[in-house]
A and B are shown apart, each in its own frame.
Chain A
Amino acid sequence: MKFKGFALFSALLPLYCFIAFASSGYYRGDFMSPSEAQKKWGIKKLDKSLFKNGDHTKRESMAVHIVVNQLYVGKPMKLVRTELGDPDSYFFSDTIYAYKIMPYPGESKEIWHLVFIPDNKLEKVIEVKIHKKCCYKPIQ
């Protein structure tokens, strides 16, 4: 019985590895967990007009509030743009809204941005995450 389980696990291992590789390959780089983000920047209630204003020094702790409370999950993507302004960063595809949340720290230094991942129909927000924009290694 134990051997059968082990054999099944071994047989499926390459598939697990492939799926893990394929899925992790989509989003290169790291995401910061909400608790880490809160520890790093603190949390401040989202002030939409302040966020929209575009001052990157004031966005970090509001981004934490968005992520911790998953504020826009299930809401229309277009609402994000209406309330938070035009996206000003790039993550993975033009179909994913990304916002800078901190001033540019200089080349090769770590920078994070807030990303809103849409559902399959590109209509609603499925996930909000803080993503490390710099500096992942290129795929060979």
Chain B
Amino acid sequence: MWLNRITFFALLSIVSNATAADPDCVDWFRGSKLETGSKNCELNCATLMTDMGTFMCPNQCDELCKPKEKGSLLSKLVFYPGLTQAEKELVVKNPKQAYSVYKLKGRAEDATNRNFPNQDLNDESDAFRHFVWAGLLTKELGRQKAKEYLDAHETNPLQSNREKQMDIFNNERGQSAAEALLKNNKWNEKTLEAKAIEELQNKNLDVISPGLPIPKEAK
């Protein structure tokens, strides 16, 4: 089982570094010294000189100019399964920060397991998890940076629009709650969880499939 996990993890790192651009075009692009992800990369790439072997390469400038997921060793290790493309780009930009985001995701899941032992998707536990994760991220990174990670997660192509809407709404509530707690010097994880429970009891969170028992107070 351990071996399976390691293999999967290694495979994931390899796949994450794959590129769709033609290898000749990659060499052609490298020779130009243009920086991937830079502001005018695509424009400058499209006007580069070509020859018989590379005359099709300007068509691949959008792919060639994408920031590559190589980054540091840490960024490779932080590529955990199920990341959206937007999340991976954030991991490459700032692997240390992304690792904090990953750890806080675990904390939000633990809090959810404690408070909602029988959990479903799109129910109160789901709303709670998003609320708490968003709150923890806001405390750790500030509203703007936290929102970048939260929004990146919501670019998930496998979710329905209604599910995205629910998550985004509950993330926003969690961010606002964290800010208010910080402002009033009442911040700690327990008060954040208590606030999430209170919001659920008052039906202030978006829940697609309600029905789970809500605890009277945070556990």
Contacts and interface: CB of A to CB of B under 8 A. Distances in A.
Interface of A: 19-20, 22-24, 26-28, 30-31, 33, 77-78, 81, 86-90, 92-98, 100, 104, 107-108, 117-123, 126-127, 134-135, 138-139
Interface of B: 1-2, 5-6, 8-10, 12, 15-16, 18, 77, 80-85, 103, 106-107, 110, 113, 117-122, 125-126, 129, 153, 156-160, 163, 167
Contact of A93 (B5, B18, B82, B103): B82
A118 B153 CA distance: 15
B119 A90 contact: yes
Contacts of B83: 93, 95
A77 B84 CA distance: 14
A97 B9 contact: no
A60 to B, nearest CB: 17
Contact of A139 (B106, B119, B121): B106
A77 B159 CA distance: 11
Contacts of A121: 85
Q: Considering the complex of A and B, which 7 residue pairs feature the smallest CB-CB distances, nearest first?
A: A93-B82, A23-B9, A95-B82, A138-B110, A120-B15, A107-B117, A104-B118
Given A87-B121, A90-B120, A127-B8, A31 B81 contact: no
